[in-house]
Structure 1
Amino acid sequence: MLRTTILAALASAALARDIPSNVQAFYDAHLNTECSNAVSDSFSSVVYCQDNTSSALFLKGPSGSYDNMDIDCDGANASEGLCDNDPTGQSMTAFMDQVAEFGISDLDAHIHPYVVLGNDGATPSFDPQSVGIEPLSVVAVVCNGKMFYGIWGDTNGGTSTGEAALSMGQLCFGDDAVNGDQGHDEADVLYIAFPGSAAVPGKAAAWKAKMKEEFEECLATIGDKLVAGL
């Protein structure tokens, strides 16, 4: 009963996360401009852009847009629940070996709100590690008037951008608003990744969490420090 109460409180806290004023200022400042410091080629008009002040990496579309949110179900339980209709689901994520060190077989898209960054296997391609982003590091996601924390948990084998785990889509837009074959089409989602080892929660994260809200909340201490530097 106590654990259920705690988890319910965590869920409420996560769902109520407001966008910090400096993050809103970052969102507004970059929205109606072109990327001034692109670190990748264009992926169907979206580029990986690096902020000149903070060195944070973010996905930026043409003036007036950011990116959409396609749903990724790769990893553990890839074909379960609302992921059962994912046409591109894979049984593993790019960092399966790394998360195995934390006592789980792989990330679970139902529980771990990961973000897909980087493109490998097609042209153009981009590796976020080339600008200091480390695997399994914290990523801030601004969506639907809210902000949530996830981790860089997978890469794209083609040239698509703007992807996140089912759990991140549910945090942003509601549990029933997305599924393995239905995401958020509007290009108004801002993904912000942060360079350096300070962005990596490592074993301190709640990798064995049972609820997406519990895992999201465990990233807040690091995430709050990172976004304060924007």
Structure 2
Amino acid sequence: MFIHSFARFVSLLVIISLVLAAPIPKGHGGSGDRNSKKNQGNNSDSTSDSSSGSNSNSSASSSTSGASFAADPSIDVIAILKAVQAATSKPVSGGKFGTGHGKDTQIYQLDAEGSSGSVFVFTADMDVDCNGTDYQCKGNGDGQKETSYGALSAKRVPFYVIPQSFVDKEKIKGNSLGAIICNNKMYYAIMGDTNGDSPEVIGKASWLMAQTCLPNDAFLARYIGNADIFYSDISFASLIPSGIEEKSPTINLNVLKELGDKTMKAFKV
């Protein structure tokens, strides 16, 4: 598989298994490993890395600003980040994955006050996922037209990616809420794609999410280079923003932000 790592990220993932009734779109998509198991529906490829979009897609995210899915400023992002980074005492069995950069990452369990399920944390390097409607991004030679739960636009939807086997094992639902912290700021996203390569790798996010963490000028100038960005990904495994449709390439970012703010204001570790 062609891997184009425009940037290296250090990530933390926290997965909180909440038991909530919410419709889950049927799974879709191809996978780097066509035999990998899907949590929802068919196999998925969530591993395709990319950097710059093709001419036909270059303006796809021009109207989408990170401010539209940014956390409320009243949320103590630094305190949350420190608590998550300190959670390394409970390694999860079967939770070690490669990053695509010669290093392995171990997922840990975190005890969180007020959570109704398991919480996990990991650190990893990360590349851009450009599957879905923007699969023709430059450098995305083996990209897929679909994402795991439909066909999202990587340039219009903030989403993150985790390994398919972990999704299956922990029963993480597609399009579930996540909060990504980068540059000491928090943004909301959904778990919109999975990694089914063999071996699986951990730590990817959509074009929009990466561009939000790395300012536009720097992103465009350095997508071929190795820009280090530190970010944390807090994922609520069963908490899904309303109104997400399988056939739609976009989501309602206002709904995403509202749910994210409500959830993170109550989040305590």
Fold match (TM-score > 0.5): yes
Distance change in 2, residues 1:216/1:56 (3 Å): farther
Is the 8 Å Cα contact of residues 77 and 108 (structure 1) preserved in structure 2? yes
Q: In structure 2, what is the equivalent of residue 190 of structure 1?
A: 232
SS at 2:95 equivalent: coil
CA RMSD in angstroms comes to: 3.3
- TM-score of the pair, normalised by structure 2: 0.60
Task: Please say if 1:43 is aligned against 2:128.
Answer: no
Distance change in 2, residues 1:40/1:185 (3 Å): farther
1:73-123: per-residue Cα shift (whole Å, max 9, x none)? 0011211xxx22224422211112xxxxxxxxx10101111111123xxxx
Distance change in 2, residues 1:204/1:152 (3 Å): closer
Distance change in 2, residues 1:184/1:160 (3 Å): farther
1:6-52: per-residue Cα shift (whole Å, max 9, x none)? x989764546854821x432321232552524253311331233322
- TM-score of the pair, normalised by structure 1: 0.69
Greater fraction of residues in helix? 1
Task: Please say if 1:90 is aligned against 2:132.
Answer: no
Task: Please say if 1:107 is aligned against 2:107.
Answer: no
AA of the residue aligned to 1:28: K
Q: 1:15 and 1:183 mapped to 2: Cα distance? A: 26
Distance change in 2, residues 1:183/1:142 (3 Å): farther
Gaps of 5+ in 2: 1-61, 99-103
1:159-206: per-residue Cα shift (whole Å, max 9, x none)? 21110000111111123444796587547321111133xx1123268x
Distance change in 2, residues 1:9/1:208 (3 Å): closer
Number of residue-to-residue matches in the alignment: 193
Q: 2:169 and 2:74 mapped to 1: Cα distance? A: 28
Q: How do 1:1-230 and structure 2 match up within 5 A?
A: 12=67, 14=69, 18=73, 20-21=75-76, 23-32=77-86, 34-38=88-92, 40-44=94-98, 45-53=104-112, 54=115, 55=117, 57-60=119-122, 66-79=123-136, 83-96=137-150, 106-119=151-164, 126-158=165-197, 159-178=200-219, 182=224, 186=228, 188-196=230-238, 199-203=239-243, 209=250, 215-227=252-264, 228-230=266-268
Gaps of 5+ in 1: 1-6, 61-65, 97-105, 120-125
